[in-house]
Each structure stands twice: as structure tokens, then as C-alpha cells.
Amino acid sequence: MIKGQVNISGQFHGMEEREHYLVRNPANTEEIVASFPKLKREDVKTAIESAKNAFKLWSTKKPVERSQVLYKASQIIESKAEELAILLTKEEGKPIADSMFEIIRTINLLRFYGTLITQEAGRVIPSQDNDTFIFTRREPLGVVGIITPWNFPLSLPAWKIIPALATGNTVVWKPASITPTIGMELVKIFYEAGLPSGVLNYVTGSGNEVGDEIITNEDVDGMSFTGSLEVGKDINKKVGNRKRFTRLQLELGGKNAVVLTKNGNINLAIEQVVRSAFGVTGQACTATSRFIVPEDIAETVLNKLIERTKKLAIGNGLDKGIDMGPLASQEQLDKYLYYVELGKKEGAKLVYGGNRLVNEEFKRGYFVEPTIFDRVSPDMRIAKEEIFAPVISVLKYKTLDEAIEIVNGIEYGLVAGIITNDPKEMKAFMENVKVGVVKINKPTIGLEPWVPYGGVKSSGNDVYKEMGVEAINFYTTIKAVYQGY
């Protein structure tokens, strides 16, 4: 068992004086991965104070000096990629190849922002006066609070922390309680790479105490949160009640749809939908959870979907050739079982899966079957609410306009996909769906770090995008300078 540590003022502490909680392997809950301290408000206040004190030094480092730390961190991660991937799988449950994907993405993010920060400063704007030189400066916000979920416990925090540090901010980071170990490793790597003390603080414990202190503490200058709509709304209210305006980025849930048209390749659609619906056990914000198919070919498509789903290998993510690991927690399992029952009650037809796996191989973990509901109508709750588990609803349509209406007829707006070979359909879809990311003949899961990402409607407050060059906008403020000469 790993003894978990937090980091405050650049020091790693076991915080023996605090209550500790256990982190279990979701593939085998008898295996305890780590124990971590539940910090109290006063500990988080100390962490915020330390980030505030470290700001002067870090923000005045030259971009190239910050870049060197990021590059060094990328090399350290590369040197222990396999070890980190195994830890991530043990803690979160996803197949090892998916964990490795998170590691590679983190390396790419470090190198992307490590280079970008040496280029992005501000711009020169021609003045209306002959004797005036006008330029803008990008300046860091100060102390940034970062609160993250468990489903991508390494690369998702990385896509917030890296642009924050690159632009000269200092950070207080609260990871999700069920996946703190891989986060601790990331913090260790940053310090090993030469980050000065206090620049990145790591605080574990409950959302209600540790998270709430970050949200309400007036010394925090900006906050980036990814998680559920419910918590996001609560944070939005609390940030609105602070004494001063504070920059807030909210990235929330999704209920992503893929539309297959009669001009699309059915086999391609099946491969991509199966991968995106069940790939990380349906626990990706970009997962496909609605498959919208033409009414007159629906039966053929459904049969192919079931046949392909049957071939998925379910098991411990550390084993070779696994397509789908366990759900991440008891809470996730309960939610899955709740929605399976709800779908049946609502009158949808359960055509595949719907059960927890309980034989000898699976009974110690949160393993479930990939699940397909047919005859789902757009007004059913299983077609509207985020389940965040391997459950897909099949819906039928007659015209593309109707399909687009179904895509848009929910409160979320994160990702939408279309499978078609008709450029006119591609155009109509791309222009009319209300989402932050459109995928054409591509799976809904899978994002590239140099591309802006974020949802609209209830999928996020959409003030700033994450990743890409655009992430720099959230973590910096622009000052305009008029210089007379």
C-alpha cells in the first residue's frame, strides 16, 4: 500500500495527524492501492498562502526558464511511462493501453505548452498617433485553484496545470478522492524537474471541505473545475457570491450522440460507436451514449451493434487484450444499475447486457456488461441524462433535420458525431449541432492537446476553452500599454 502524501509549500507530508481514507483497486476491491489524508480547511488555507508567496518568484521567471521545467518533467514521465500506466490502471481501472494514452497526452501537453510559452507574449497594435507605440502584455492571474474528476486522473489535470504553470501562475490542486495516487506522482515529477517550492500545492480530501475552501478563499484568483453539472452549478453560485469577481472555468457533463446516415459506412459506425460507448467503460465525458440511426435500416444496424459488442473482452485492465475494465467505484456501479432499471421502467427494450458480472473472475471488482437499449425515445430520461457508464441508447429518425433535432434536444452540448460520406450532410450537421466538438467519421472519444476543447449549454460555462493555444487565454489577463516617445 502506498502512503499518500499531500504537498504544501513544496514539502510532501503524510499528515499523520489527519484522518486517512483508503483507495481501492476497482478491479479487485480487496487490493488497497493507497491511503490518503483528508485535509481540513486550515491545511488548504496554508496551501493557498504558500501558492501566494511562491507567485512572485515563479511569475517573474523568464518563459524559457518555465519551459525548461516543463520539458524536464516530460522527460521524467517518459522514463517511467510504464510504471505510471500500471499505477493509473490499478487506481482507476481503465485498460493499460488507455492509461498509456493518458501518459503520452501528458508528455505532449508538457512539450506543447513548453514551446508555446516561449512564443506567446502579447501583440503590437498600430496607434492612431505618430508618437505612440501600443502593445499588450499577457500576465498570469496569480493563484489558480484546480479541481478535477477521476476519469482521466492524469491527463485532464495536466491540461489545466500545465498551461497554468507555463504562464506563471501558482496552483492549488485538489484531485478526485478516488484517484489521488497518480496525481501525487505528477506533483513529485514537477518538483523533481525543478519547480520552485510552493508553486504547485497538492491537497487531498473531500469536495465539501477541501474543494469548498478553494472555491471560497478570497486569495484564489482563478478556478478551473471539471466534474458533474450538479457540483459545477453549486460552484458557480459560490463564486458569484465572492467579494470580488473571479475568473471561473467549468467543464461539465455530456450526453453525446452519433448520427449514422444512409450515406455512411455502417461497419465504420459500429466500430466507432462501440469504441466510444464502451472503451473506457463509458466513463469519458466524450463517450457516445446515443446512437441515432435511420428508421429503415435500424434493425440491421442494431444486430451488427450487438454482434460487435459481444466480442468485447472485459477484465482487469492490467491483463493483455482487455477492451473494457471495471467501473471506477461503488457509486458508479450503483448509478449504472439504477439507469438500467430506469430504462426498463421507461419502456425501452434492453437488448444486450444490463448486469453486474459476479462470477469468480469478476466478483471482487465493479465489472458490468456493456449495455444496449433499443426503442428509446428522445423524451426518456435514459436518452437525456448523463449515465457515465457503458450504456448506449439507440434512437431512430426519418430525416437528417429530425436527427439533428434529437442531437440538440438535451441540456448538454459537448460532442456530436456523424457517419456519412455525403459532404452536404457533413456541412448541415456541423453547422447545426449545438456542441463544442464535432466529429465526422471519427469516434466521439479522442482529443488532441493542441486543439481547443470545451462544451456549450450545460456542458460548461464556455467562457474559455481548454487545451490548444486558447487555454492560455484563461490563465492570463491582458494589459494594454500605450508608450509615448
Interface with ligand NAP by CB under 6 A: which range of 60-68, 148-156, 288-296, 403-411? 148-156
Q: Is 172 in the site for ligand NAP (CB under 6 A)?
A: no
Applying CB under 6 A, among 231, 258, 392, 394 the residue interacting with ligand NAP is 231
Angle formed by the axes of helices 81-92 and 63-79, to 10°? 80
Quick one: cell of 450?
Answer: 493542441
Q: Is 151 in the site for ligand NAP (CB under 6 A)?
A: yes
Beta pairing partners, 314? 324
Applying CB under 6 A, among 176, 435, 445, 467 the residue interacting with ligand NAP is 176
Q: Which of 102, 84, 183, 176 is nearest to 445 (CA)?
A: 102
* SS3 of residue 412 by DSSP: strand
Q: Is 234 in the site for ligand NAP (CB under 6 A)?
A: yes
Applying CB under 6 A, among 226, 276, 289, 309 the residue interacting with ligand NAP is 226
Pairing of the two strands 412-413 and 456-457? antiparallel
The upper half-sphere exposure of residue 221, i.e. CA atoms within 13 Å in the direction of its Cβ, equals 19
Judged by CB, which is closer to ligand NAP: 150, or 373? 150
Q: Is 147 in the site for ligand NAP (CB under 6 A)?
A: yes
Judged by CB, which is closer to ligand NAP: 269, or 382? 382
Q: Which of 352, 414, 349 is nearest to 382 (CA)?
A: 349
Interface with ligand NAP by CB under 6 A: which range of 106-114, 226-234, 293-301, 361-369? 226-234
Q: How far is it, in rounded angstroms, from Cα 247 to Cα 235?
A: 12
Hunting for cell 448506449 — which residue is that? 392
Tell me how far, at minimum, the Cβ of 34 lies from ligand NAP, in Å. 14
Quick one: cell of 463?
Answer: 467562457
Residue ranges in 407-446 that form contacts with ligand NAP under rule CB under 6 A: 414
Applying CB under 6 A, among 92, 221, 386, 425 the residue interacting with ligand NAP is 386
Judged by CB, which is closer to ligand NAP: 92, or 374? 92
CA distances from 454 to 148, 154, 447 (A): 15, 18, 11
The span from the first CA to the last CA of the chain, in angstroms, equals 65
Q: How far is it, in rounded angstroms, from Cα 274 to Cα 357?
A: 19
Judged by CB, which is closer to ligand NAP: 150, or 474? 150
Tell me how far, at minimum, the Cβ of 447 lies from ligand NAP, in Å. 9
Q: Is 181 in the site for ligand NAP (CB under 6 A)?
A: no
Q: Is 253 in the site for ligand NAP (CB under 6 A)?
A: yes
Hunting for cell 454482434 — which residue is that? 307
State which H helix or E strand residue 66 sits in. Answer: helix 63-79
Applying CB under 6 A, among 215, 239, 376, 467 the residue interacting with ligand NAP is 215
Phi and psi torsions of 435, nearest 5°: -145, 170
Tell me how far, at minimum, the Cβ of 466 lies from ligand NAP, in Å. 7
User: Which residues are near ligand NAP by CB under 6 A?
Assistant: 147-151, 156, 174, 176-177, 206-208, 211-212, 215, 226-228, 231, 234-235, 251-254, 285, 386, 388, 414, 455, 459-460
